[in-house]
Structure 1
Amino acid sequence: MDFESPHQDSITIDNLTFYSNFDSGNMCRVEKFGQNTYEIFVCPDAASAGFNSYRTWFYFGVKGFRKATSVKICIANLNYMKVFSTPGYRPVWKCTPGQSEWQRVPGEAFYEPGNNGFYRYTWSFDINHADCDYFFAYATPYSYSDIMKSIKFFEKTCSPDVYFFREIIVLSIDSRPVELVTISCKCNFLDAEEERISGLFPEINPRCLVGKKPIVFITARVHPGETPASFLLDGVFKLILGNDPRGQALRSAFVFKIIPVLNPDGVFNGNFRVDQNGVNLNRCYADPNESLHPTIFAAKAYFQYHSQNIKYYFDFHAHASKRSCFLFGNALEMEKQIDNQLLAKLIEINTSYFEYSECDFSEKSMSSKDPKDHNTKEGSGRVALYKLSNIIHCYTIECAYFILRPLHPIAPPIIYKTGKRFLENTNDESVQIVQVFNRTFFDNVSSGIMIAILDMEKINPVSRLPLSVFRYLEAGKEWIKARILAHYRLIGKNCSRLNLLKSEGRAERATVLPRLPERKVHKMNLITPIFNEVSSSTSQNRVLFSLGRMMIAQDTRRISSFPRLLRPLRNHS
């Protein structure tokens, strides 16, 4: 381990004070390197416990900058992460007072190998505000205290007909409260309170009431540095607590059980992926220890208590590996898998920033090992809670930190009863605890996830589905089924070829199944049921969209596999 200073510190150089002694801060050392150039050193996750991994998250403030000066800042001891080398990535900044909204750092930035196996990330910055504290971070921070403030804010501003109940489900290792929030319509509850569960709910206060509706169970921030998870959760709160008819339909049909932060100690300490003991808590669900993993123990115990009534489970995460938002689902038997994957396709129909083609429902994603700690995903919330309850819709949602523009167009929503177009309110003027430049992006993704549930349950009062390529849910199921069967046929063909090679003695090197072709990087595309194998250059195979009516020019030689798939659409034309 590197013997470094504590990660939340205050250091003064040249009348400038660099500090990270606040919630979620991470900076352990500062050195001056040339004129107005400063090297910042970050602390690894759980350094106080002897760990030396995940030097990724940085968050610090600077006092004393003079106006109209230019400084160069270098994070000098980062671990390698692909995101730093991508052209679209930039750290974020704000200054108080003056610029309280988090923005991306403008201008060029450089990522290069440094000393001792570390990497350096450097950017220049112009100081335009005097007498301000400037803050810089890996991504828009959402601290533990901000999470608690947001919950309190949503409780105060929700509609009178909403049942909003907060309670402390457990205390973390460092005795930070972990809250459980229950939300639904007031009419969806009995007069009786829920039973107390051994080891949970340490305060002697009234419990929440017993719900009468299916449950949507949501957790977030098991990995501290994945701050988009909290911004997604803000979008969920705004939708299900607001006056939008889809939000009203959600809280009328479901009871929401939400744990906003599963790793409060890691969030507070400025870690990126683990808790203060160096443990990846999202690998502990299979057998959590009540003393070592109290938050995971509590989440699993409460999930098990309600397992018969839980319909949907979402664990909010963030990623920096792909261009879009996507999800991990479980590999299920055929009929269940259709519904399992259909929800992902419905999310794509409802948000421009989510791509079904990037989602992973493979058996490998349920058992693969992490490259650093070698723990398998069998201990993740998605896999362990599925095995505990056998629910179909059990997902890990992976949200990008930043997406520059929409990835594909989506159909406008229409009101089912009248058939008229529904005008969505795209100007969000609501007060936010954490102000961020791309708040609309996060709200769009979270609302797309929630609205997909309404489409799945056929209770959406304002839907995009009728004007999408599918027009109705059954056509979507047929398309998903065709894709799954095509995937199985490809695997079967590869298996047959492998067996043939073995029988002929030519399979010495073919000890595993051939890998499926990797997805190609694709341009902006319409959401369409046409398989990727159909060449877009064939002018006879074009899809015309007009208010959901689909006309396909016949080319029996190239798309002979589609008549059976499209027959339900013709019957409803």
Structure 2
Amino acid sequence: MEKSFLTFESRFECGNLRKAIQVRQFEYDLILSPDINTVSNLQWFYFRVANVESGVDYRFNIINCEKPGSQYTSGMQPLLFSVREALEGRPYWIRAGTRVNYYRNHFNRLSVGKSSADGATYYTATFQIRFPHTGDVCYLAYHYPYTYTRLLTDIARWQEQANGSHSDPVYFRVQSLTTSVLENPVPVLTITSARTNEESRQQASPDSVTTAKPQYRPYIFLTARVHSGEANSSWVIQGLLDHLLSDHPSAVQARQQFIFKIVPMLNPDGVICGNHRCSMAGKDLNRRWSNPSLFNHPTIYHTKKLLHLLHACDRSPFIFIDFHGHSRMKNIFLYGCSPFESWKNPDTDNPTYRGPGLGEDPSYRHLASILDEIAPAFAKRSCLYVVNKSKETTARVAVWREFGVVRSYTIEASYCGVTRFAGQPADSNSSDKTAPFVDGHQMNPFHLKSFGAQLIDAFIRLPSHTDRLAIRDLMTNVPDAPAQFILEGGPEFTGEPSDISFAQPPLCSSLHSRPGSPSIDSACSLPSTISPGSSAHSLSSHSSLSARLSRSTSSRSSISLTDG
């Protein structure tokens, strides 16, 4: 007798589903796993469904969501990946689902360390899915997955791209900033132009701020994926790097004008294990920037150490951006820091405040204005510059205060979509939380990657008269440090940790399985035929990293992976 029920699986990289309960013939209640070492942060889901029938409307109810609001009530749909479609040449994630809704249910929320006497309950995200093929194997996800495996694959591709033929030679270096709690290497990328002094002088226009000495170029420091479920931030970084390493004139100018330091995944453990927000320590890493622990928050600790090194060399970044995803608002927008919108009154302990009666340095507002002009998905009207007390320990505010970075931002990309596109005027009377959804304008990786490329264009447009003087000041008022010290981070980053190279199969065996899960190897394995998380890649270590990696990883056969 054939099975009359669906089968579920989530024990693969980024997967999250704890339990499925069949409540009717074609309806299932689903329970998500909380972030490891917590009882909360229930939002990200990613699981496999098998034994499906076509022509049937299956209803899925995720009954332990936490947030009181969701874009599921404003037109957002979950993501569907069909293995059958992939085998037939269409390996794409698609928005799918009808009768999508989000509402408060009657299940009491589990609370630790807080009173639950207020009767707080969970919320239900519900949707119907009609699968395209009988007997198909499909994946459902909250957003387009971007795995740690995919990041390593992309890094190998970026290395090849940088090594290719370029009109402007590219300096591209990948290093391991540190290892995570589960001993996964955390890559940091350094990108700039590799032109010689004389070549740079010949290429620079009379009005250009390009410097002939690479070690004097100002820094742009970018981080992403501190919250593991915010995969949209990784797609923005991918698009930014694809463009930055190209021969496009804006990319060439950006490389000649700046040094880019990029930490593309601050929370690889959370990404691998399917967490939504926290690290293995059960903590929100974006609330640990004031005093990160070397042992519990090593990725934040070492990222901050690198920023401290630059600051000690009088090379604090010209721009710092931490990329995030937003679940309750549309569009892409940013948060900055204004001393006149701060919880402190007066707020003088920051680089933006000019002094009594002198106001503030307004240059931090320029980026939003430029992006509003050139990026269709960006909404300046959604940008805020408030510094709340609760945000003092976030990257944006800590970097602003401690390292004197006037242009310190958080950039948020909606999981859902946009309320305006080029040629469509913004409705100043509508709220981004309730504005009518524009049909067909749900964002996908193409839109997110396009925004990453548009950011590069914005960076080179930033130097208005005021910002141009700031850049030139950064160039001239720096110690005459060796180029290698400035580019590579100084002595503490030239030996330990060592560079990342790519020669062996992907390794994920440091993934800790959830309670009740099978062994580590099976928990981190991906489907043997086609899996939608990333592409096949290889990883190996050498020098001082090899010993640590040999303890934390074991060989695994190469996996064929496809992503849309």
TM-score when normalising by structure 1: 0.65
Given that 1:188 and 1:212 are in contact with CA atoms closer than 8 Å, whether structure 2 keeps it comes out as no
Aligned mate of 2:12, from 19, 22, 25: 22
Change (3 A) 1:84 1:438: closer
Q: How does 1:150-189 map to 2 (within 5 A)?
A: 150-158=154-162, 159-160=164-165, 161-187=169-195
Look up the equivalent residue of 1:388 and give its one-letter code.
E
SS at match of 2:127: strand
For 1:405 and 1:64, how far apart are their aligned partners in 2?
38
What does residue 9 of structure 1 align with? none
For 2:81 and 2:392, how far apart are their aligned partners in 1?
40
What does residue 204 of structure 1 align with? none
Look up the equivalent residue of 2:102 and give its one-letter code.
Y
Shift of 1:132: 3.0
Q: In terms of mean alpha carbon deviation, does 51-60 or 75-84 score higher? A: 75-84
What does residue 77 of structure 2 align with? 90
Shift of 1:133: 1.8
Change (3 A) 1:402 1:114: closer
Shift of 1:103: 1.2
Q: How does 1:296-335 map to 2 (within 5 A)?
A: 296-307=300-311, 308-309=314-315, 310-331=317-338, 332-333=352-353
SS at match of 1:277: coil
Look up the equivalent residue of 2:138 and give its one-letter code.
Y
What does residue 93 of structure 2 align with? 102
Q: How does 1:93-492 map to 2 (within 5 A)?
A: 93-99=80-86, 100-116=91-107, 117-158=121-162, 159-160=164-165, 161-187=169-195, 211-307=215-311, 308-309=314-315, 310-331=317-338, 332-333=352-353, 336-364=360-388, 367=389, 369=390, 377-404=391-418, 406-409=420-423, 438-457=444-463
Look up the equivalent residue of 1:93 and give its one-letter code.
L
Given that 2:9 and 2:17 are in contact with CA atoms closer than 8 Å, whether structure 1 keeps it comes out as yes
For 1:352 and 1:89, how far apart are their aligned partners in 2?
19
Q: How does 1:487-502 map to 2 (within 5 A)?
A: none
Deviation above 6 Å: which 4+ runs of structure 1? none
Shift of 1:300: 0.2
Give the share of equivalent positions with the same residue, in percent.
26
What does residue 437 of structure 2 align with? none
Q: How does 1:517-536 map to 2 (within 5 A)?
A: none
Look up the equivalent residue of 1:401 and give its one-letter code.
Y
SS at match of 1:268: helix
For 1:321 and 1:28, how far apart are their aligned partners in 2?
24
Provide Cα deviations, 1:185-243, integer angstroms capped at 9, x if missing partner.
Answer: 22279xxxxxxxxxxxxxxxxxxx98442111100000111111101001111211112
Look up the equivalent residue of 2:183 and give its one-letter code.
S
Residue ranges of structure 1 left out of the alignment (5+ in a row): 1-11, 190-208, 370-376, 412-435, 459-472, 478-573
Provide Cα deviations, 1:426-446, integer angstroms capped at 9, x if missing partner.
Answer: xxxxxxxxxx97233113322
For 1:259 and 1:233, how far apart are their aligned partners in 2?
10
Structure 2 residue 47 is the aligned partner of structure 1 residue 41: no
Look up the equivalent residue of 1:216 and give its one-letter code.
I
What does residue 424 of structure 1 align with? none
Provide Cα deviations, 1:105-131, integer angstroms capped at 9, x if missing partner.
Answer: 142213233232222222111121244
Given that 1:57 and 1:138 are in contact with CA atoms closer than 8 Å, whether structure 2 keeps it comes out as yes
Change (3 A) 1:391 1:16: same
SS at match of 1:274: coil
Given that 2:144 and 2:444 are in contact with CA atoms closer than 8 Å, whether structure 1 keeps it comes out as no
For 1:215 and 1:65, how far apart are their aligned partners in 2?
51
Look up the equivalent residue of 1:80 and give its one-letter code.
K
Given that 1:25 and 1:269 are in contact with CA atoms closer than 8 Å, whether structure 2 keeps it comes out as yes
For 1:43 and 1:73, how far apart are their aligned partners in 2?
16
Look up the equivalent residue of 2:386 and give its one-letter code.
S
Given that 1:97 and 1:133 are in contact with CA atoms closer than 8 Å, whether structure 2 keeps it comes out as yes
Shift of 1:88: 1.6
What does residue 496 of structure 1 align with? none
SS at match of 2:43: coil
For 2:34 and 2:103, how far apart are their aligned partners in 1?
19
For 2:466 and 2:308, how far apart are their aligned partners in 1?
32
What does residue 488 of structure 2 align with? none
Between 1 and 2, higher relative CO (CA 8 Å, sep ≥ 6) is seen in 2
Change (3 A) 1:406 1:236: same
Alignment RMSD, CA only?
Answer: 2.7
Given that 2:331 and 2:419 are in contact with CA atoms closer than 8 Å, whether structure 1 keeps it comes out as no
For 1:97 and 1:85, how far apart are their aligned partners in 2?
27
Given that 1:33 and 1:39 are in contact with CA atoms closer than 8 Å, whether structure 2 keeps it comes out as yes
For 1:87 and 1:110, how far apart are their aligned partners in 2?
9
Change (3 A) 1:129 1:296: same
Q: In terms of mean alpha carbon deviation, does 271-280 or 91-100 score higher? A: 91-100
What does residue 194 of structure 1 align with? none
Given that 1:336 and 1:392 are in contact with CA atoms closer than 8 Å, whether structure 2 keeps it comes out as no
Provide Cα deviations, 1:119-171, integer angstroms capped at 9, x if missing partner.
Answer: 22221111212443201111111111112212222222234321221111100
Larger Rg: 1
For 1:226 and 1:349, how far apart are their aligned partners in 2?
25
Given that 1:169 and 1:179 are in contact with CA atoms closer than 8 Å, whether structure 2 keeps it comes out as yes
Give the number of equivalent residue pairs.
396
For 1:407 and 1:336, how far apart are their aligned partners in 2?
32
Provide Cα deviations, 1:517-545, integer angstroms capped at 9, x if missing partner.
Answer: xxxxxxxxxxxxxxxxxxxxxxxxxxxxx
For 2:76 and 2:152, how far apart are their aligned partners in 1?
29
What does residue 554 of structure 2 align with? none
Change (3 A) 1:317 1:409: same
What does residue 348 of structure 2 align with? none
Shift of 1:19: 0.3
TM-score when normalising by structure 2: 0.66
